[in-house]
């Protein structure tokens, strides 16, 4: 705009826009400029902002709430509006990409495309972080069962006893009846750790068989139990009833869930048992597998110990593991006999 008269107020407004990344509204600009020009009116600020936009010395950014934002950075670039806090952010993209959009648009327009404007909508980093915190209130990251990652990142290593412990201690000795695997494993665990026993695993040879051995002594000494197969809600109810039958307040114990969890599923379980028992979660696959490739449903389990077959018989059909089907049949017969005769 040739012959535009110099204005000290307009120059101050432009300087303010050049040195802020907040993409202010006219009201915000007015409050700032008023410190330097106490008598300036809001209308004057509006007129100068629009004038700067018209002559290409500022960008006018329309927003969903109807209030324009202004940017002193005039080279082609995009903006993102946070739909939560309403703030506007610069989106840094390669200039060649912006130019390519103009070129592609020209292919579909009977005329000449010279420029374009694009406004993106989403959540800024701060709002996204707060949203996740509010979505799962009270959640705390305790540690990792991956010892290498714990060492590498200075995280507390945590975990429970493995299925292999119960399988090998109970089934890796030919003198033992394998239907009593849990008793042998719990007994040796307590001898090693005394009263600091952590969490007991329930489903190495079915939870019902586990509960035959998880009586008052062990139920008192262990801080809780871990779910790794079967319906988590039915299992949780069963554990609460078991603690109550032993005269133990379930609120003093922890139910740790670790079977095929993601955050949404864990949240449903936590809400269901809230106020009735302590809750913890071990989430592996759906934290470590954060790509678009579907996760593989695989596990590694011991199949022999001391030269003897060992097996896991899960609460979920198909989740057991053993290379010798005859041994699995034998183990199932032992468990069935015990459940029917050993009261």
Q: What confidence score (pLDDT) does residue 229 get?
A: 86
Structure tokens at 6: 């110099």
Q: Which residue range forms the structural domain that includes residue 128?
A: 8-135
241-284: pLDDT as tens digits? 999 999 999 999 999 998 888 888 888 999 999 989 999 888 87
CB atoms within 10 A of CB 12: 18
Q: How much is the average pLDDT of 71-88?
A: 85
CA 253 from centre of chain: 24
Q: What is the CATH number of the domain that holds 38?
A: 1.10.10.10
227 falls within a domain: yes
252, two tokens:
């003093």
Whole-angstrom Cα distance, residue 324 to residue 328? 7
- What pLDDT band is residue 192 in, cutting at 50, 70 and 90? confident
What pLDDT does 194 receive? 79
CATH of the domain at 213: 3.20.140.10
Pair (81, 158) in one structural domain: no
Q: Which of 135, 160, 186 is the last residue of a domain?
A: 135
Cα of 297 vs its chain's centroid, Å:
19
Structure tokens at 16: 């303010």
Indicate whether 2 belongs to any domain: no
Is residue 124 domain-shared with residue 164, that is, in the same domain? Answer: no
DSSP 3-state assignment of 279?
Answer: strand
Higher local confidence (pLDDT), 153 or 298: 153
Q: What is the mean pLDDT of the chain?
A: 86
**Whole-angstrom distance, CA of residue 252 vs CA of residue 176:** 33
> Per-residue pLDDT tens for 9-49?
999 999 999 999 889 888 889 989 998 999 999 889 989 99
Residue (of 72, 66, 64) closest to 11 by Cα position: 72
* Lookup: tokens for 81: 């509006």
> Would you place residue 3 in the very low, low, confident or very high pLDDT band (cuts 50, 70, 90)?
low
State whether 197 and 268 are in the same domain: yes
The pLDDT score that the predictor gives to residue 288 is: 66
Residue 243 lies in a domain: yes
Residues 177 and 310 in one domain: yes
Q: Is residue 141 part of a domain?
A: no
Q: Same domain, yes or no, for 194 and 269?
A: yes
- How many domains, in total, are found in the chain? 2
Answer yes or no: is pLDDT of 132 > 90. no
From 135, 170, 199, the end of a domain falls on 135
Q: What distance in Å separates the CA atoms of residue 38 and residue 256, rounded to the nearest whole number? A: 64
Same domain, 129 and 151: no
Distance CA 240, CA 251 (A): 9
| Domain assignment present for 217 | yes
> Has residue 1 got a pLDDT over 60?
no
Collect all residues with Cβ–Cβ distance below 8 Å to 140 and sequence separation of at least 6.
none
**Is pLDDT of 75 > 90?**
no
| CA–CA dist 146, 156 (Å, integer) | 10
Q: Please determine, for residue 2, whether its predicted confidence score (pLDDT) is greater than 70.
A: no
Give mean pLDDT, residues 219-238.
Answer: 92
Q: Are residues 234 and 130 in the same domain?
A: no
State both tokens at 229.
């197969």
Do 187 and 121 share a structural domain?
no
Coil, helix or strand for 294? coil
Residue 286: count other Cβ atoms within 10 Å of its Cβ: 15
Same domain membership, residue 204 and residue 165:
yes
What pLDDT sits at residue 67? 74
Q: What is the per-residue pLDDT for 289? A: 66
Higher-pLDDT residue of 84 and 310 is 310
Task: Identify the weakest region by mean pLDDT among 214-223, 276-285, 287-296.
Answer: 287-296
Same domain, 285 and 234: yes
The pLDDT, as a whole number, for residue 71 is 92
| Contacts (Cβ under 8 Å, ≥6 apart) of 219 | 242, 243, 246, 248, 253
Among 80, 106, 135, the domain boundary falls at: 135
Beta strands 254-257 and 199-201 are unpaired
Whether 1 maps to a domain, the answer reads no
34: tokens are 């008023």
Tell whether 25 is covered by a domain.
yes
For the chain, the helix, strand and coil percentages under 3-state DSSP, each to the nearest 5? 45, 15, 45
pLDDT of residue 291: 65
Q: Are residues 189 and 121 in the same domain?
A: no
Same domain, 208 and 113: no
């Amino acid at each position: 705009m040739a012959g535009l008269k110099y204005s000290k107020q307009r120059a101050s407004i432009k300087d303010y826009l050049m040195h802020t990344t907040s993409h202010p509204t006219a009201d915000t600009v007015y409050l700032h400029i008023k410190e330097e020009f106490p008598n300036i009116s809001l209308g004057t600020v509006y007129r100068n902002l629009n004038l700067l936009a018209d002559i290409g010395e500022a960008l006018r950014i329309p927003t969903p709430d109807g209030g324009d934002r202004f940017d002193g950075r005039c080279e082609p670039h995009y903006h993102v509006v946070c739909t939560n806090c309403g703030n506007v952010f610069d989106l840094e993209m390669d200039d060649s990409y912006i130019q390519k959009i103009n070129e592609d648009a020209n292919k579909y327009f009977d005329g000449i495309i010279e420029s374009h404007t694009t406004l993106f909508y989403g959540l800024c980093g701060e709002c996204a972080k707060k949203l996740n915190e509010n979505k799962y209130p009270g959640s705390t990251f305790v540690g990792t069962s991956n010892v290498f990652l714990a060492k590498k990142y200075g995280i507390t290593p945590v975990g429970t006893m493995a299925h292999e412990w119960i399988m090998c201690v109970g089934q890796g000795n030919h003198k033992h009846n394998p239907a009593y695997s849990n008793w042998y494993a719990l007994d040796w665990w307590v001898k090693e750790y005394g009263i600091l026993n952590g969490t007991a695993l329930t489903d190495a040879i079915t939870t019902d068989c586990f509960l035959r051995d998880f009586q008052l002594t062990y139920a008192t000494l262990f801080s809780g139990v871990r779910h790794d197969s079967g319906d988590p809600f039915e299992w949780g109810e069963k554990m609460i009833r078991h603690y109550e039958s032993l005269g133990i307040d379930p609120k003093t114990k922890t139910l740790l869930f670790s079977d095929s969890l993601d955050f949404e599923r864990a949240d449903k379980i936590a809400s269901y048992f809230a106020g009735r028992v302590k809750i913890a979660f071990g989430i592996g696959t759906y934290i470590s597998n954060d790509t678009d490739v579907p996760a593989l449903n695989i596990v590694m389990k011991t199949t022999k110990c001391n030269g003897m077959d060992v097996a896991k018989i899960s609460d979920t059909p198909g989740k057991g593991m053993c290379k010798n089907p005859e041994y699995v049949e034998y183990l199932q017969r032992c468990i069935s006999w015990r459940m029917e005769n050993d009261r």
